[in-house]
A and B are shown apart, each in its own frame.
Chain A
Amino acid sequence: MADLSCSLAGIKSPNPFWVASGPPANTAYQAHRAFEAGWGGVVWKTIGAPIVNVASRYSALHHGPQRMIGFNNIELISDRSPEANFREIAEVKRRWPHHAVVASLMVETREQWHEFVRRSIDAGADGIELNYGCPHGMCERGMGSAVGQQPAVAERITTWVKEAATIPVIVKLTPNITDITAAARAARRGGADALSLINTLNSITNVDLDTFVPEPRVGNRSAHGGYCGPAVKPIALHMVQACAADPEVALPISGIGGVATWRDAAEFIALGATNVQVCTAIMHYGFRLAADLTEGLSDYLDAKGLPSLAALRGRAVPSLQKWEHLDLHFRRVAQIDYDRCIGCNLCYIACEDGAHQCIDLRTPEELGVGLGPGRIPHKPLPQVRAADCVGCNLCSLVCPVEDCITMTEVAPGGAPLTWSDYQERLARGEIAPLPPHP
């Protein structure tokens, strides 16, 4: 069994799976249930001056029968009193001393920040997460993403917090910003011990075409919400990697955004995250997910011969380079396995209309392949014209059959040549311009 224990800037947990600050982390009752189910940590639902919530609060993006590939909310921070929240944090910590309990905070003035940091420490929290990300409701009051979007403000508030904090401080970043590393660097300058990202993205999930009021509907109005769930994972991975690769950030990262499976978690960690936080998947399926996440990640590490999370962490970071450092002569072409091809011709039409016109249709007789349900006489099947294939991947992406279209590496078009090399050598007159694509 691989060692799943981890430490984020000194906050220790038995595994890297934390319940993210949100509805599943609202009460001691839920925290107990989460830890019983096997979660490694809980970031409490953000505590601040009491607010009032509305009904309704959530909406979702469904895709065909697949529910909630994206999720949107207009719920605010905790609507419970700070007293109740801190009392319950203390209660949970007493019962689960070896699990991580982090207090998420959002207040306005320096004095309030100092007060809430002290109360968190008094409650026994293992760390503090600064909610600089909430994109609705709180930002209009100068909090949440209003802070995260202004690096100078984020830096100042982090400084205030650090004045009072004796436990690690995590700054949670909003993705609703042009360059995430600007905010990350500001947090670093303010003295943050770690980052967590991403918070939710501004969104409208859908419009009711009968009432013309989007969900979540409150009377005959709605409001922009915060978007999360599986659909945001690619955005989150990009931002995590950007921060992990930035030498001026150099902070441990808690990865958030669409984590629903152990694979998602492994990808976040390979891109530089120390641990991950999960919310939407719990809102969809409950705390029982923890067993699958921990077992899956452990099995993966064992299968790869990796003794601990540290051995996985950041493994994919160096391979991500600027585009100008990619080899212009690398070649890959699509190859169709006719033992698997079912003749749906989705690759053909995708290449023909959506890419580079490198697939022809030929009859099974011409191709010398057998018939099957999708292969009836005269009905053509796709054939890749390898010489013209630009290796774009599109056909293999639309192909509905696992391992049917493989992108195969072929002999390179020449010695390795990056765009930046190419520009330099062109300038020096060492090479002729590469011919444009016909």
Chain B
Amino acid sequence: MSLSPLLPADALAANFAEIKPPLRPQEALVEASRCLYCFDAPCIMACPTGIDVPTFIRKIAQGNPAGAARTILTANILGASCARVCPTEVLCEGACVLEDRDEQPIQIGRLQRYATDHVAAHGINVLPAAPPVRSGFKVAVVGGGPAGLGCAAELAQLGHAVTILEQRAQPGGLNTYGIAFYKLKPQVSLAEVRLVQSLGVELRTGVRVGRDVTVAQLEQDFDAIFLGVGLGASARLRIPGEELPEVLDALDFIAQLHTGPLEQVRVGRRVAVVGCGNTAIDAVAQARRLGAERAFIVYRRTEGDMPAYDFEYEHAKHDGAQFLFNAAPVAVVAEQGRVAGLRLVRTRVVDGRVEPVPGSEWVEPCDQVLRAVGQEKQVALLRGLFPDLVIDDRGVIAHDPLTGQTNVPHIFVGGDCGNGGREVVNAVGEGKKAAHGIHVFLTQDAISPPLQPSRLGAKRGAAGAGLLAPIRAHELEAALEP
């Protein structure tokens, strides 16, 4: 039996309503008023884009949501989508001092959404209208996802002429195609792209570097190139039966919800998702919300090892997803040319390595299998296009973490292709950092605007000797690594 949509449109609309509803004005006022307005606030430092969180929250508390949006969008052009998709629990909200006072942290993400929704709904433009291109430099941004958009917006505001080259039909990258539908609607992402365009950035979609334009042409036409090409498709499972039509890349499965009506998305009655990262969680929860009677995760390690965030795990369990830990797929079982089950083997960890337990195989019935075992690096593609670029042993483009500059001086990098796959907000922050790197490279300006201005003025030591250097997000991350 082939797959089909399982639920009527009205049920799907209810299932895919936003899981975090917007704050009402009264709620926003009360929540904003809880903020202590910390000096040198840890939430700012925990934000990879360095949004001045206490300042924007104070503006909300004072009845100035447009001003709040200006603070947010000046630091993070994708502030509206980050408000919805950021893992705030481990970023700004995780750093909120109120938790140390045994209180709930400020709902920074929802307040950020309140402010950015306000300007979107009222058509208020809080950023300077297309700043004049005054530098005379031209920059090509390859990839119209979060990193590219973050870089392009910053470059435009620094006075450079920017062109984004995006291979897909719609810009926005993961934000448009790859985030669970109940977290972020593609319209929000596309509106953000228009905001970037309003800064004077030129956008060319359906353009693939190497096919529609050569690298040599780019290097001739532009003074610098930013690569924000992200990662490739989900890795293959490398098991028999993977070629069956009901075995899908989880990202493609998620993208179906973004490109067509929900009631046309076909889903299995029993869905297996292989992998246990945040994409796997999005996929298994969406399968349930599309009407799958059973949707389960197959993960070869233990519950404690899974890379998904705790709150994502809780969310999936709440949606009725099931979890098979210490299990690895061996083969996709077919009946009459269609998926009928997934053959699994019990696993155990010996000396840190996962190995199958002999004789422990069994079949979990299912009629759809989704691959979510991590996106592949685009090593071959990048080597083909940019033979001089150094790609490190993790498969990502080597670069200076402060500037995004690669070993080829006019090529800069940011987002997943440089970090191996992280959050949207990391991509925006890296794009922004690279924009400053490019600006310094092009103009030879010694000083680039600081990313976290609040840190300036904080002095240390007796007699106030010397200023503290701004803490860069990567230093913070390094310090927080377990």
**Which residues of chain B are within 8 angstroms of A401 by Cβ–Cβ distance?**
101
Within 8 Å of chain A (Cβ to Cβ): is B46? yes
- B interface footprint on A36-80 (CB within 8 Å = 1, 0 otherwise): 000000000000000000000000000011000000000000000
In the bound complex, what is the Cα–Cα distance between A64 and B39 (angstroms)?
19
Say which residue of B61, B100, B475, B476 sits within 8 Å of A375 (CB atoms): B100
In the complex, A380 has a CB within 8 A of chain B: yes
Chain B contact residues: helix, strand, loop or mixed: helix
Do B97 and A374 have beta carbons less than 8 Å apart? Answer: yes
Are the C-beta atoms of A362 and B36 separated by less than 8 Å?
no
User: Counting CB contacts under 8 A, is B362 at the interface?
Assistant: no
Stretch at the interface among A148-156, A163-171, A174-182, A343-351: A343-351
Q: Which of these binds chain A: B272-280, B308-316, B341-349, B457-465?
A: B457-465
**Closest A residue, CB atoms, query B37:** A346
Q: Mark B450-482, 1 if CB is under 8 A from A, else 0.
A: 000000001111101000100100011001100
User: Considering residues B40, B94, B458, B479, which has the most beta carbons from chain A within 10 angstroms of its beta carbon?
Assistant: B40
How many chain B residues sit at the interface, stated as a range, is 20 to 34
Total interface residues in chain A, CB < 8 Å: 26
> Which of A344, A357, A378 contacts B38, CB < 8 Å?
A344
With A373-B96, A376-B46 known as contacts, the answer to whether A344 contacts B36 (CB < 8 A) is: yes
Task: Give Cα distance in the complex from A378 to B479, angstroms.
Answer: 8
Contact of B45 among A346, A361, A379 (CB under 8 A): A379
Which residues of A, 372-395, contact B by the 8 Å Cβ criterion? 372-380, 385
Residues of B close to A282: CB separation below 8 A: none
> Does chain B have a CB within 8 A of A342?
yes
A-B pair number, CB within 8 angstroms: 92
- Indicate whether B30 reaches chain A with its CB closer than 8 angstroms: yes
B476 and A378: CB pair below 8 A? yes
Contact bitstring B203-236, A, C-beta under 8 A = 1, else 0: 0000000000000000000000000000000000
- Distance A349 CA – B455 CA, assembled complex (angstroms): 12
Check B38 against A373 for contact (C-beta < 8 Å).
no
Inter-chain contact B96/A345, CB cutoff 8 Å: no
Q: A362–B461 contact, CB under 8 A?
A: yes
Report B9-46 residues with CB < 8 Å from chain A CB.
29-30, 33, 36-42, 45-46
Given A343-B97, A345-B40, A378-B471, A373 and B105 touching (CB < 8 A)? yes
Task: Determine if A400 is an interface residue (Cβ-Cβ < 8 Å).
Answer: yes
- Answer whether residue A246 sits at the interface, using C-beta atoms and an 8 A cutoff: no
Q: Does B392 contact A (CB under 8 A)?
A: no
Residues of chain B lying within 8 A (CB to CB) of residue A375:
42, 100
Nearest CB in chain B: distance from A209 CB, A: 10
A361-B100 in contact given A376-B476, A379-B471, A380-B468 (Cβ < 8 Å): no
Residue B425 is within 8 A (CB to CB) of chain A in the complex: no
Question: Chain A: which residue is nearest B465 at the CB level?
Answer: A360
| Contacting pair A380 B36 (CB below 8 A) | no
What is the minimal beta-carbon distance from A402 to any residue of chain B, in angstroms?
Answer: 9
Residue of A nearest to B54 (CB): A344
* A400 touches which of B101, B460, B468, B475 (Cβ 8 Å): B101
Q: Contacts of A380 on B, CB cut-off 8 Å?
A: 40, 458, 460, 468
Chain A's interface: helix, strand, loop or mixed, by majority? loop
User: Which residues, 83 to 111 on B, are CB-close (under 8 Å) to A?
Assistant: 94-101, 105
Nearest CB of B to A438, in Å: 12
User: Closest CB of chain B to A257's CB: distance in Å?
Assistant: 26
Nearest Cβ distance between residue A200 and chain B, in whole angstroms?
A: 27
Q: Which residue of B lies closest to A346 (CB)?
A: B39
Rounded to whole angstroms, the CA-CA distance of A25 and B428 in the bound complex is 63
Known contacts A357-B464, A377-B480, A379-B471; A345 and B39 CB within 8 A of each other: yes
Closest to B471 in A: A378
Q: Are B39 and A360 in contact (CB under 8 A)?
A: no
In whole angstroms, what is the CA distance A400 to B38 when docked? Answer: 10
B residues 360-416 near A (Cβ < 8 Å) are none
Do residues A361 and B460 form an inter-chain contact, with CB atoms below 8 A? yes
Which residues of chain A have C-beta atoms less than 8 A from B38's C-beta? 343-346, 374
Question: In whole angstroms, how far apart are the Cα atoms of A343 and B101 in the complex?
Answer: 10
Q: Given the complex of chains A and B, what is the CA–CA distance between A65 and B35 in angstroms?
A: 12
Cross-interface CB contact of B95 among A360, A362, A374, A400, cutoff 8 Å: A374
**Other CB < 8 Å A-B pairs besides A348-B40, A374-B95, A376-B480, 19 of them?**
A65-B29, A65-B30, A65-B33, A342-B97, A342-B100, A344-B38, A348-B39, A357-B464, A361-B460, A363-B460, A372-B99, A373-B42, A373-B95, A374-B38, A374-B100, A378-B471, A379-B42, A380-B40, A380-B460
B-side interface residues toward A, CB under 8 Å? 29-30, 33, 36-42, 45-46, 61, 94-101, 105, 458-462, 464, 468, 471, 475-476, 479-480
**A-B residue pairs, 5 tightest by C-beta:** A374-B97, A377-B479, A64-B33, A373-B99, A342-B100
Measuring CB to CB, which residues of chain A are less than 8 angstroms from any residue of chain B?
Answer: 64-65, 342-346, 348-349, 357, 360-363, 372-380, 385, 400-401
Chosen A-B contacts, 22 in total, with CB atoms closer than 8 Å, are A342-B98, A343-B97, A344-B41, A346-B37, A346-B38, A346-B39, A348-B39, A360-B462, A362-B461, A363-B460, A373-B98, A373-B100, A374-B42, A374-B95, A374-B96, A374-B97, A374-B100, A375-B100, A376-B95, A378-B471, A380-B40, A385-B462
